[in-house]
Amino acid sequence: MTRAGNVIANVSSIYSKCATCSELVLEKTKKIDLTEFNFSGLKCAECGKRPLDAVAAHILSLSIQNQHKSDLVLREIGTPLLCPGVSTYHRPHLGDRTLILLTNRSRVADAADRVLDEVREVKAILYGDPTKVAGLTIVEAEPYVYQVLAGCDMRADLVTSAYGQLLIYKSQSKIHIEHDNRTKMLKLGTIPLANRVVFDALAGPGTLGLMSVFMGAEKVILNDAWLPAVENAFLNLYVNKEVLGIRSIKRTSMTEASHDSPELFCTARTSDTDIELYCGRFEKFDVQDSKVDVVLLDPFPGSEIRFESAAKRIRNQNRQMHVVYI
């Protein structure tokens, strides 16, 4: 896995074009005559990148088995996810294995292996309903996951706040997609966390909890009931080890998800902050015994009401404790 510092240092050039790159902008909602494209010729001989629209058209061409006409338009082939996901202020130009495609089109799905072989920019193709949230929305429900048709679904997003930048990896077939963390980072930045014990109750891959380390928290406790998310958070401790100043990481022997009281998955330590990562139901975590000052709750959109009773119970344990929805 690429370390956070490497991505941060090169963020401005990852998807930028060089002086000899060609540009290509296609209409996303109209049918395209694919006979006019030389897909290999659109790759820059100098830097090896191609415009995103050229990559998408190549995928479309393979999905319709090189027919001249397609009843699919570019927008319909799926949702392109940059790997890593970083802010771009221009149309991205892609290098090798820098794109994951989430599709719900059977023809694209049927061509997945061929696309992975012939389109070097593609890292993986996932199949599923893009309107559904991947992961465990509530413990009582069955988790929804996308099917990995080809390639590796591990991707990362660079998350930026006023306090620092983190590279957050996620198994994208099992973890919800977040296109923009700016609003959450702005809200988190208004919460005084320095020298406090912070409980990131629905931590997912660890974004809010790890950003709290940057903000000077005395202790950060991350928890999630979805084991793949906890495993991603564990990975993100390593990936961001240098930028967070983590001195040690120690994993426990836990290997199975707990849908009851949270079980300790690992511990980590910086010079100023203790970090603990748990897997289980946050409602069963003893915030009083852990002397938690601030509880961060980041539920899936539309599911806030499901956690309100649990949030009230937490508040009742200690009236001085702050419970904040992010």
Domain limits, CATH 3.40.50.150, in the chain: 178-325
Query: 243 φ, ψ to 5°?
Result: -70, -30
pLDDT of residue 69: 58
pLDDT of residue 310: 75
Ramachandran angles phi, psi of 268, nearest 5°: -145, 165
C-alpha to C-alpha distance for 27 and 108, rounded to whole angstroms: 19
Segment (H or E) for 188: helix 182-188
- Residues 302/139, Cβ–Cβ less than 8 Å: no
**Cα 52 from Cα 83, distance rounded (Å):** 13
Q: Reply yes or no on whether the pLDDT at 68 is more than 80.
A: no
pLDDT for res 268: 98
Distance (Å, rounded) from C-alpha 13 to C-alpha 172? 24
Q: Contact 94/42 with Cβ under 8 angstroms?
A: no
Work out the average pLDDT over 53-81: 86
What is the DSSP secondary structure assignment for residue 276, as one 8-state letter? E
Whether 179 has a pLDDT exceeding 90, the answer reads: no
pLDDT recorded at residue 255: 65
Q: Does pLDDT of 67 surpass 70?
A: no
What whole-number distance in Å separates Cα of residue 185 and Cα of residue 275? 20
| Bridge partners, 60 (sequence order) | none
Check: CB of residue 323 under 8 Å from CB of residue 310: no
User: What does the pLDDT read at residue 21?
Assistant: 96
pLDDT tens-place string over residues 109-123: 999 999 999 999 999
pLDDT surpassing 90 at residue 31:
no
| Cβ neighbourhood burial of 170 (10 Å; 0-12, 13-18, 19+) | buried
Single-letter amino acid code for the residue at 124? A
Confidence check: pLDDT of 258 > 70: no
Radius of gyration for the chain, computed over Cα atoms and rounded to the nearest angstrom: 22
Query: How does residue 308 score in pLDDT terms, banded at 50, 70 and 90?
Result: confident
Facing residues of 93 across strands?
A: 51
Rounded CA-CA distance 323/191 in Å is 11
Q: Which two tokens stand for residue 229?
A: 């998310």
State CA 44 to chain mean position distance. Answer: 29
pLDDT of res. 178: 87
* Of 31-35, 84-88, 159-163, 190-194, the least confident: 31-35
Taking residues 218-238, report their average pLDDT. 97
Mean of pLDDT values over 188-202: 97
Cβ proximity of 286 and 261 under 8 Å:
no
H or E element: which one contains 107? helix 106-110
CB atoms within 10 A of CB 64: 16
Domain boundaries 178-325, CATH class:
alpha beta
Ranking 92-106, 164-178, 299-313 by mean pLDDT, the lowest is: 299-313
Q: Which of 32-36, 55-59, 216-220 has the lowest mean pLDDT?
A: 32-36
Q: Which of helix, strand or coil describes residue 242?
A: helix
| Mean residue pLDDT across the chain | 92
Is residue 106 over pLDDT 60? yes
pLDDT score at 309: 75
